């Protein structure tokens, strides 16, 4: 479908969530935005009504590997940029960021009318015009002054509206309820109530075991002065290293070890370590010995 356009906010280059992604994942996010715009139900990854977009479709459209797509989707979901409802990928806050004038009013009115009609049929076997008039008039006008980026998450009062592949069946997914105490995610160190940054680390890690223990080590490293961004980068680079080096799963470090007091994650903060196909390192002192043999003419 040609001639379509979508809103891309200038703050996107400074968005914290996007800056945690690698270049291929950032490009994948742009591709997903364009697919969601062209979808017959905007904001949902559909090729046609009832035909969801697959991972293979994303690999083809973004021209990246299947591993990059899989890891990208996991990272987007961990950062509440996308969510799955009835097997469909839906973009969080699509209606809030990509609104078209007052079209959301029509969608809300249609949903409430449909919902009321379904309820009336279940209770009475028919639908009255009075019930449609009573519940059909809803006005929803997105704020024109909102300058947040496309990847912000909803407040606890917001809702993610997603339409399934079934005709005229609109699904409303309520925003995630806050944890006890009034905050969506509690501060680090509160048992197994994981922070958003840790969830990003966890989604990228190549061997996800003992999550609670790993979170405790995560908090310990933060207290030691390491940044969450460095730990997330180390997780992604270690995952790339394991994949490229074809490391067997049994040899991949447990997360509690990776984040342990010996801090093996430090080796991966600045990039992956690829050893597959490289010659083994020469023994210590081999070069000096070889030079001595050459100088003395020893055969």
User: With 70 as the cut, is the pLDDT of residue 187 above it?
Assistant: no
Q: What is the mean pLDDT of residues 142-158?
A: 44
Q: Are residues 151 and 271 in the same domain?
A: no
Domain containing residue 63: 1-99+142-176
Residue 10's alpha-carbon distances to 14, 15, 32, 229, 246, in angstroms, are: 9, 10, 18, 22, 40
**162 plus 263 within the same structural domain:** no
Highest mean pLDDT among 5-9, 65-69, 101-105, 119-123: 65-69
Sheet strands (E) in the chain: 46-48, 51-52, 82-85, 88-91, 159-163, 170-174
Quickly state the pLDDT bin for 175 (edges 50, 70, 90): very low
Task: Answer yes or no: is 109 within a domain.
Answer: no
With beta carbons less than 8 A apart as the criterion, state whether 291 and 262 touch: no
| Whether 57 and 83 share a structural domain | yes
Q: How many CB atoms lie within 10 A of CB 163?
A: 25
For residue 7, is pLDDT > 80? no
For residues 232 and 222, give the distance between their C-alpha atoms in angstroms, rounded to a whole number.
12
The average pLDDT across 207-225 equals: 93
State the first-to-last Cα distance of the chain, in angstroms, to the nearest integer.
74
Task: Say yes or no: 157 and 280 in one domain.
Answer: no
The predicted structure's pLDDT at residue 264: 92
* Domain total in the chain: 2
Question: Among residues 157, 176, 195, which one ends one of the domains?
Answer: 176
* Alpha-carbon dihedral sign for residues 90, 94, 96, 100: negative
Taking the C-alpha atoms of residue 235 and residue 233, their distance in angstroms, rounded to an integer, is: 5
State pLDDT tens for residues 248-293: 988 999 999 999 999 999 999 998 888 876 666 666 666 777 777 7
φ/ψ of residue 279, rounded to 5? -65, 150
Query: Is residue 190 domain-resident?
Result: yes
- Is this model's pTM higher than 0.85 or not? no
161 and 239 part of one domain: no
Q: Collapsing DSSP states into helix, strand and coil, what is residue 161?
A: strand
**Band of the pLDDT at 3, cuts 50, 70, 90?**
low
Q: Give a yes or no: residue 204 inside a domain.
A: yes
Question: Does 297 lie in the same domain as 165?
Answer: no
Residue 128 lies in a domain: no
Task: Please indicate, yes or no, whether residues 267 and 153 belong to a single structural domain of this protein.
Answer: no
**Percent of the chain, pLDDT > 90?**
30
| Confidence category of residue 194, pLDDT binned at 50, 70, 90 | very high
Quick one: DSSP state of residue 198?
H
Q: Would you say residue 201 lies in a domain? A: yes
54 with 153, same domain?
yes
Arithmetic mean of pLDDT, 206-210: 91
């Amino acid at each position: 479908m040609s001639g379509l356009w979508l809103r891309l906010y200038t703050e996107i280059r400074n968005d914290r969530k996007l800056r945690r992604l690698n270049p291929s994942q950032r490009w994948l996010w742009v591709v997903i935005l364009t697919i969601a715009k062209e979808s017959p139900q905007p904001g949902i990854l559909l090729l046609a009504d009832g035909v969801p977009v697959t991972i293979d479709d994303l690999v083809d459209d973004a021209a990246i590997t299947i591993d990059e797509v899989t890891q990208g989707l996991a990272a987007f979901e961990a950062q509440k940029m996308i969510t799955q409802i009835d097997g469909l990928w839906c973009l969080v806050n699509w209606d809030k960021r990509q609104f078209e004038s007052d079209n959301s009013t029509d969608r809300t009115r249609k949903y409430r009318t449909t919902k009321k009609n379904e309820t009336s049929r279940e209770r009475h076997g028919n639908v009255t015009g009075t019930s449609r008039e009573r519940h059909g008039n809803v006005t929803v006008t997105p704020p024109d002054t909102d300058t947040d980026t496309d990847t912000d998450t909803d407040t606890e009062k917001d809702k993610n509206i997603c339409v399934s592949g079934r005709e005229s069946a609109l699904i409303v997914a309520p925003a995630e309820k806050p944890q006890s105490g009034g905050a969506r995610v509690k501060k680090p160190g509160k048992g197994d109530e994981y922070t958003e940054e840790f969830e990003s680390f966890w989604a990228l890690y190549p061997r996800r075991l003992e999550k609670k223990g790993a979170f405790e080590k995560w908090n310990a490293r933060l207290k030691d002065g390491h940044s969450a961004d460095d730990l997330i980068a180390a997780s992604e680079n270690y995952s790339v290293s394991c994949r490229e080096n074809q490391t067997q799963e049994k040899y991949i470090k447990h997360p509690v070890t990776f984040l342990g007091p010996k801090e093996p994650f430090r080796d991966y903060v600045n990039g992956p370590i690829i050893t597959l196909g490289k010659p083994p390192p020469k023994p210590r002192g081999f070069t000096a010995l070889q030079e001595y043999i050459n100088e003395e003419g020893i055969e």
